[in-house]
Structure 1
Amino acid sequence: MPVNPELVGRDFAPTAPYLVGREKVREFARAVFATDPQHTDPAAAQALGYADVVAPPTFAMVVQDLTLQQLLSEPDSGIVLQNVLHAEQRFRYTRPIVAGDELTARLTVTGIRTLGGNAMVTSDAEITDAAGDHVVTATSVLLVGEGDR
């Protein structure tokens, strides 16, 4: 089954709140070789005006992944995980993610472009804090191959 073109414009339910933990930020920073002290040392982050350690910019992917799981589990999507490559990722921040943030994400499929038997599925995850204020928009492009559908 090809990727369902009716996914375009589909909004998914907001994710459960994700509480950003200090140790998760530190672990992520180590994993991506983000060595600036603001990512691991609360005092360094506070000296810059933040309440706690600041997550590296790509940390938003941790929260966005919850939304992509919704898309991939959609029964009528036509997307088979084994045929998916994460082709592109972009972030548009209003403010950095900081330990202690409680974040919720809501996914919208914004486009599908077919290339032969393949499809490029673009989605935006709007990530907001507990007050409902925008933190970051995470945009992903998934390349869905033909494979064994």
Structure 2
Amino acid sequence: MALNRDFIGRSFPPSEPYEVSRIKIREFADAIGDRDPIYRDAEAAKAAGHPDVIAPPTFPIVVSLGGPGLADPDLNLNYAMVVHGEQRFEYTRPIQAGDVVTCTSTITEIRSIGNNEKMVIETDIRTVGGEPICKTYNTIVERGA
């Protein structure tokens, strides 16, 4: 079944706050195989000009993709058939340990590509105080719709 085009332009309420901890940053860096000490050692991060350990550039995928809007049954998204298409990040500043962030997502595009459905989701990531951190652009493809 095709994705519901009525969702194009729909924004979803901010996510629940997510606290970015040193442990989560280290676990993510380990998962992607990045050994850079600024992701593990506060002193190394400070020597590089950061106030604390920072997250790898792709860390926002942890918080930016998903949320209640994509789970809406009226969207007609079959997660079992979803593959990751593309991701891009535009940073205002790095995510750092101690940040508490929320995400506000908007579906900006849905279109058919052959038998597949492509959906683009833009997500603004901000601190709970409203400071912008980054914007993500995620493309997902539902195969064989």
- Pick from 67, 85, 95 the counterpart of residue 87 of structure 1: 85
Letter in 1 for 2:96: V
Does structure 1 residue 2 correspond to structure 2 residue 13?
no
**Secondary structure, counterpart of 1:58 in structure 2:** coil
CA distance in 2, matches of 1:116, 1:56: 35
C-alpha deviation, 1:105, in angstroms? 0.3
For structure 1, the residue ranges without an aligned partner over 5 or more in a row are none
CA distance in 1 between counterparts of 2:32 and 2:143 reads 28
Distance (Å, rounded) in 2 between the aligned partners of 1:72 and 1:8: 12
For these two proteins, the number of residue pairs brought into alignment is: 145
Q: Contact between 1:14 and 1:106, CA under 8 Å: does it hold in 2?
A: yes
CA contact (8 A) 2:15 2:67 kept: no
- Secondary structure in structure 2 of the residue aligned to 1:59: coil
TM-score, normalised relative to structure 1: 0.92
The reply to whether residue 103 of structure 1 matches residue 96 of structure 2 is no
Match of 1:119 among 117, 125, 143: 117
TM-score, normalised to structure 2, is 0.94
Question: Which residue of structure 2 aligns with residue 25 of structure 1?
Answer: 25
Cross-structure match for 2:55: 55
- Post-superposition shift, 1:133? 1.5
Which residue, 52, 66, 69 being the options, matches 2:67?
Answer: 69
Q: What are the ranges of 5 or more consecutive residues in structure 2 without an aligned counterpart? A: none
Give the Cα–Cα distance (whole angstroms) in 1 for the partners of residues 42 and 109 of structure 2: 40
How far apart are 1:41 and its partner, in Å? 0.3
Other structure's SS at 1:90 match: strand
Q: For each residue in 1:67-119, what CA deviation from the matched residue of structure 2 results, as whole angstroms up to 9, or x when unmatched? A: x1323311100111111111111111111000000110000000112123321
Specify the code of the residue in structure 2 equivalent to 1:49: G
C-alpha separation between the residues in 2 aligned to 1:33 and 1:145? 29
CA distance in 2, matches of 1:84, 1:69: 15
Check the 8 A contact 2:108/2:122 in 1, yes or no. Answer: yes
Superposed structure 1 runs of 4+ greater than 3 Å apart: none
